[in-house]
Amino acid sequence: VPGLKRQIGLAARLLVRAALVHKQIGPLSGQTAMAGSALEEAVPFEKRSAEARRILAKYPDRIPVICEKAPRSDLPDIDKKKFLVPGTMLCGEFKYIIHKHINQTAHASIASDQTIYLFVNSTSPKTGALMSEVYDRYKADDGFLYITYSAENTLGSR
């Protein structure tokens, strides 16, 4: 059965990649954290930075991610905001994890075929990109990668 599980995992990844529309949008500014993150506003920079350094020292092959709902999104907030993901994970796989967390909220769920979008510094990363590549390019000064999610592409809408 291990071979079958591997094949199912590969098939699921391919389906996630094939089902999503890729639209690359250039970053608005350097490699700073996204403004307005609730955790970023609630926790002082020094504390966040120390936590990221501690995590990276203990788990050098992992990426510290803070994922929150986009401000104008109608999706529910997920209970878990902090994630420690392998650098080899694809953005599409992380998107699937967020989709599962949304469905685990008590008051709402979304259809399995409904697309959710991830944003990093107002950029929608490609689902085939490695989380380590996204982290290297967009990590915040405090050492975390800030990601927001939405049910629709909220960039450009006012």
Domain residue limits, the chain: 2-150
pLDDT at 36: 57
Q: Is 72 exposed, middle or buried (0-12, 13-18, 19+ CB in 10 A)?
A: exposed
Number of helices (H), then strands (E), belonging to the chain: the values are 5, 4
pLDDT at 105: 82
Query: Is the pTM for the entire model greater than 0.85?
Result: no
How does DSSP classify residue 144? P
Per the CB < 8 A criterion, the answer to whether 109 and 103 are in contact is yes
Please report how the helices 91-103 and 131-138 are oriented relative to each other, as an axis angle in degrees rounded to 10.
100
pLDDT tens for the chain, residues 1 to 158: 556 565 556 545 544 443 332 222 223 233 333 445 887 888 999 999 999 999 999 999 999 999 999 998 989 999 999 999 999 999 999 999 999 999 988 676 777 677 899 999 989 999 999 999 999 999 999 999 999 999 875 455 44
Distance, in Å, from the CA atom of 26 to the CA atom of 122, rounded to the nearest integer, reads 8
pLDDT at 117: 95
Tokens at residue 87, please?
A: 């650098």
Helix extents (H) in 59-103: 91-103
How does DSSP classify residue 29? S
CATH architecture for segment(s) 2-150: Roll (3.10)
